[in-house]
A and B are shown apart, each in its own frame.
Chain A
Amino acid sequence: MAVVLVLVLIVVGSVLFHVLSPWWWTPIASNWGYIDSTLVITFWITGTVFSAVVLFMAYCVYRFRHKEGQKAHYEPESRKLESWLTVVTAVGVAALLAPGLFVWSQFVTVPKDATEIEVVAQQWQWSFRLPGADGKLGTSNARLIGSENPLGINPQDPNGQDDVVVVATDLHLPIGKPVKVLLRSIDVLHDFYVPEFRAKMDMVPGTVTYFWFTPTKTGSFEVLCAELCGVGHAFMRGVVKVDTQEDYLAWLKQQSTFAQMSAPAKVGVLAAPATAQAKAE
């Protein structure tokens, strides 16, 4: 009897826990409401199956536990029942998979008007790069990294000169504009993770990965690293501030470009530093 009671309590307790617990995801701050909806569908379907299976077990134990003189029924298999269960399961699986793949196709299709920005990770801090007036990010290479060029931007690439470089401080983004986040790491694997945005992606040294989203709420959001990156992993934090357009532009004005940052050191390095400087301004 204790077994039956515990099995029933597990179902009831789990459902109540789900409904009453204060632990739920953070309020969403991006366009990925679809992901949340898919998650909710999944909770419904799996919750129903879990309750049904465990309650059925509880009933079996209640009804068919050993009593004196009882004999089990002899039935090796039932083609009909087994096929029927297979079909029902396949339908349930399809009901989960279809919305999942539908939302995934949106997830992998970056809108044409998305602004490319870059997040650069290193042990254990976040830096960012925004394209300048040309709207293009310059090329980069880990071999070029030095104290004046912490992100390894290619000084020969004119596209890179006006890039806005934000090292180890907050990133600002304007609300309502889709961004394609290019992800780069200069040492080990990291993962750019802002729970409120739902989307996340690993950054892999040697290659550039990406994801896209549209911020839908102004405010300050904490960036965490979600891929183990060494002893400082849990302390690798950053901040993304989603601003109104005006606030964003005001912030942007205060940032320095790659050309400005590297100006003093560039004498003698580049053939025509003056030109680059002029272009940036």
Chain B
Amino acid sequence: MVDVTPHGADFIPAAEVAEVELYHPHSWWTRYVFSQDAKVIAIQYAGTALSIGLVALVLSWLMRLKLGFPDTFASISPDMYYQFMTMHGMIMVIYLLTALFLGGFGNYLIPLMVGARDMVFPYVNMLSYWIYLLAVLVLVGGFFAPGGPTGAGWTLYPPQAITSGTPGGQDWGIILMLVSLILFIIGFTMGGLNYVVTVLQGRTRGMTLMRLPLTVWGIFTATVMALLAFPALFVACVMMLFDRVIGSSFFMPAIVEMGATPLPHDGGSPIMFQHLFWFFGHPEVYIVALPAFGIVSDLISTHARKNIFGYRMMVWAIISIGALSFVVWAHHMYVSGMHPYFGFFFATTTLIIAIPTAIKVYNWVLTLWRGDIHLTIPMLFALSFIVTFVNGGLTGLFLGNVVVDVPLSDTMFVVAHFHMVMGVAPIMVVFGAIYHWYPKITGRMLNEAMGRFHFWVTFIGTYMIFFPMHYIGLVGVPRRYPELGDTAFVPPSVHTLNEFITVAALIVGFAQMVFLFNLLWSIRHGRPAGDNPWRATTLEWQTAGTPPPHGNFGKELPVVYRWAYDYSVPGAPEDFIAQNDPRPLTQGGPA
């Protein structure tokens, strides 16, 4: 047997400094509203993210209705379509997925999993949430502003984003969007520094880096990436705001609007914006994906009662994906008009990143091999994640391979690809994670029947939405077209397929209502969960009570004696050994 991580009670250093006294809330307000407890902040983040996500879901229905039944929904004008599209994309990527994975799961799980009483900077952590909420409110404000929200697409490419041919370009829409993003980044930075410092400095005794659950590795690496990537978006937003408000020309060359009106800009570079945007935007894909990778590793391991296969390789894969993702950004720009020789470099780096990603997939499925697979709802979602992620990842090999991208770029193939890989797949993990940790957060299990219904409809439904959509793109249908009109090369069967996809999208959307109902219903009516319903090894399941009290653990912080994956250790009486279980190992295994 291989020794995966140093073990044994000898390695546990004695506590050198006394614990710092936590901030103790004195009133209902400081306990539940302006709370400094990471668990409360996590729930605030998650609640806000899911609420704004619901808005994005409704927007997607409106878009699908327009695409499926353009005549019936003629009242949805192209202006509105582009506004819905922009807000849907931005909400899903930033305000839902980033906020939920890092602000939600990060806040809840990091302190508990590393054995800390709270984040290291609780006050800043609280500010992080309130600034995030402000960012969401400013974003929503776009709907009520004169001219409505911006319709520039979530990529906000100038000059189009700030000219009059785009909804919100010369009104409030684009300004509110940029301000909201700037606020989001400020808020995120406060939270992000917390997550990083807590993982590096707040671990309990015995919790070495190579004993961290992969969930923490995923969230930690994603946070480091976000701290490095978001500044590029931040400056891009500030510069565009200057172009729009005070007439500077960072991204604005000399242009003539509508063939008649010269604008007072000169000398700016629209492609510079794209570089800044995608220098943020591509890492962003992995900022969403890495926490999902980490969480799904733990779901599979726990529910297959087997250690994650190749833990060390998994850690290195996460880190190398994180590092490589900073040198692949221009694969979003193969047909942007940048120098075509860049294509050689970015196609190569992009395809190289497929290797660590593939290793992760292998290790997930190899964890299933010779496991003891419990088909619980978290496990079902984990399996559906693998299917959709492999599917979406493989279509990435089309789009990353520069010349193959040329015909497919800006078609519905791209839309299908990124929805599968960074929409559906991570959201499957979000659901799996909620079903997995809800018992810890509330003390009760989510309803099983509603959960299974939710799983099957969501999984099969989303596959039926996005798999055929690739083929619409293959035909040549461009993305961001509210309607196709009469286009010679598009056969009528494509319209039929569009109708089918719209119906599937509405059904999947309905299943999410069942999920939300389940979340509320089970708080009171769910089966009591106990402290460790899944018989899991990691520290969050070993707390003093459920839900964990303020300060997480009892009088003494737990001391960690082994890695997070001691499932089905030969000779052990049970099929899991908790990380803080001091019993010496019975035989041979790692830990």
Contacts and interface: CB of A to CB of B under 8 A. Distances in A.
A74 B372 contact: no
Interface string A61-85: 1001110001111111111011001
B425 to A, nearest CB: 13
A186 to B, nearest CB: 5
B535 to A, nearest CB: 12
Given A23-B475, A66-B373, A203-B337, A101 B344 contact: yes
B480 interface: yes
A252 interface: no
B268 interface: yes
B238 interface: no
A145 B165 CA distance: 18
A51 to B, nearest CB: 10
B489 A188 contact: no
Interface in A222-241: 222, 224-235
B476 A66 contact: no
A34 B403 CA distance: 9
B402 A77 contact: no
B517 interface: no
B269 interface: yes
A226 B307 contact: no
Interface string B316-351: 000000000000000000011100110110011001
Contacts of B336: 202, 204
A116 interface: no
A205 B270 contact: yes
Contacts of B82: 228, 231
A195 interface: yes
A77 B253 contact: no
Contact of A222 (B258, B347, B397, B489): B489
Interface residues of A, number: 101
A77 B310 CA distance: 4
A145 B270 contact: no
A232 B151 CA distance: 12
Interface string B243-259: 00000000001111111
A205 B253 contact: yes
Given A188-B163, A200-B409, A64 B404 contact: no
Contacts of A10: 387, 463
B476 A89 contact: no
A230 to B, nearest CB: 3
Contacts of B487: 222, 224
A74 B390 contact: no
A93 B476 CA distance: 26
Interface in B140-175: 151-153, 155, 157-160, 163, 165-167, 169
B407 A25 contact: yes
A187 B163 contact: yes
A46 B398 contact: yes
Nearest to B387: A54
Contacts of A200: 335, 406-407, 409-410
B401 A188 contact: no
A26 B476 contact: yes
B132 to A, nearest CB: 28
A64 B365 CA distance: 12
B305 interface: yes
Contact of B403 (A100, A147, A188): A100
Given A96-B397, A205-B255, A234 B484 contact: yes
Contact of B337 (A90, A193, A204, A235): A204
A17 B467 CA distance: 9
Contacts of B361: 53
A122 interface: yes
A38 B401 contact: yes
A261 interface: no
A22 interface: yes
A81 B2 CA distance: 14
B307 A76 contact: yes
A183 B338 CA distance: 12
Interface string A24-40: 11100000101100110
A188 B160 contact: yes
B568 A71 contact: yes
A201 B567 CA distance: 53
B160 A189 contact: yes
A186 B255 contact: yes
A209 interface: yes
Interface stretch (B281-289, B491-499, B540-548): B491-499
A86 interface: yes
Contacts of A104: 340, 343-344, 347, 402-403
Given A10-B463, A60-B365, A206 B370 contact: no
B79 A231 contact: yes
A25 B163 contact: no
A150 interface: yes
B407 A39 contact: yes
Nearest to B373: A65
Contacts of A141: 254
Contacts of A50: 390-391, 394
Contacts of A232: 78, 165
Interface in A204-256: 204-207, 209, 222, 224-235
Nearest to A206: B253
B589 interface: yes
B335 A100 contact: no
Contact of B255 (A53, A64, A142): A142
A93 B484 CA distance: 36
Contact of B159 (A25, A100, A188): A188
A86 B355 contact: yes
A209 B374 CA distance: 56
Nearest to B368: A60
Given A53-B365, A202-B336, A77 B489 contact: no
B526 interface: no
A90 B259 contact: no
B460 interface: yes
A90 B373 CA distance: 30
Shortest Cβ-Cβ A-B pairs, 6 listed: A206-B253, A230-B165, A195-B476, A209-B337, A73-B370, A188-B160
Given A66-B305, A200-B335, 14 more contacts: A6-B460, A24-B474, A25-B407, A49-B390, A66-B374, A76-B565, A85-B358, A145-B262, A152-B256, A200-B409, A206-B255, A206-B267, A229-B160, A234-B78
27 contacts: A14-B467, A34-B403, A39-B408, A42-B398, A42-B401, A49-B390, A50-B394, A64-B371, A64-B373, A72-B568, A74-B570, A76-B307, A77-B313, A93-B351, A104-B403, A188-B163, A193-B478, A200-B409, A200-B410, A204-B337, A206-B253, A206-B267, A226-B478, A230-B169, A232-B78, A234-B481, A234-B483
